[in-house]
């Protein structure tokens, strides 16, 4: 699961960009990626870190926070933040921390970071679309 951004959530500027169709896909994807990159530092700051990081079989040598990245989905005009390697990569346990389990309470870090940066991301994406598409 990813926290994603799409043009539908950026009001009039997003609607204009979407109306331009394929000509605007690259500009829209770049603008959404810039917005996602603004969320990454907040998510990294909120992600839990252990005092001692164990490395071993099938575990990343990095902390979870170090694996949070902004990504652009090719051809879909969507960008978001995720953990490098995906839900089943070496830092697979992020999904258990974000959503919780039967025995572990959720300690979300993606959603709070996205909500915290929502206004800033909206401005970044709208300004980027205006600059690249001349809207």
For 22-54, how does the pLDDT look when each residue is reduced to its tens digit (9 = 90+)? 667 777 788 888 999 999 999 999 988 776 666
Q: What stretches in the chain show pLDDT beneath 70?
A: 1-14, 16-23, 51-61, 74-76, 135
pLDDT at 51: 67
Asked whether the whole model's pTM tops 0.75, one would answer no
pLDDT number for residue 55: 62
Q: 79-92: buried (b, 16+ CB within 10 Å) or exposed (e) per residue? A: bbbbbeeeeeebbe
- Expressed in angstroms, the distance from the first to the final Cα of the chain is 32
């Amino acid at each position: 699961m990813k926290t994603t951004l799409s043009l539908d959530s950026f009001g009039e500027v997003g609607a204009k960009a979407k109306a331009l169709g394929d000509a605007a896909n690259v500009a829209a994807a770049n603008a959404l990626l810039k917005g996602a990159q603004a969320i990454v530092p907040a998510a990294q700051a909120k992600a839990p870190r252990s005092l001692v990081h164990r490395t071993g079989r099938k575990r990343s040598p990095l902390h979870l926070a170090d694996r949070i990245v902004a990504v652009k989905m090719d051809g879909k005009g969507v960008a978001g933040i995720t953990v490098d390697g995906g839900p089943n990569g070496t830092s697979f346990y992020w999904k258990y921390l974000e959503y919780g389990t039967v025995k572990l309470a959720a300690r979300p870090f993606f959603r709070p970071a996205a909500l915290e940066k929502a206004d800033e991301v909206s401005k970044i994406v709208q300004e980027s679309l205006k600059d690249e598409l001349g809207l």
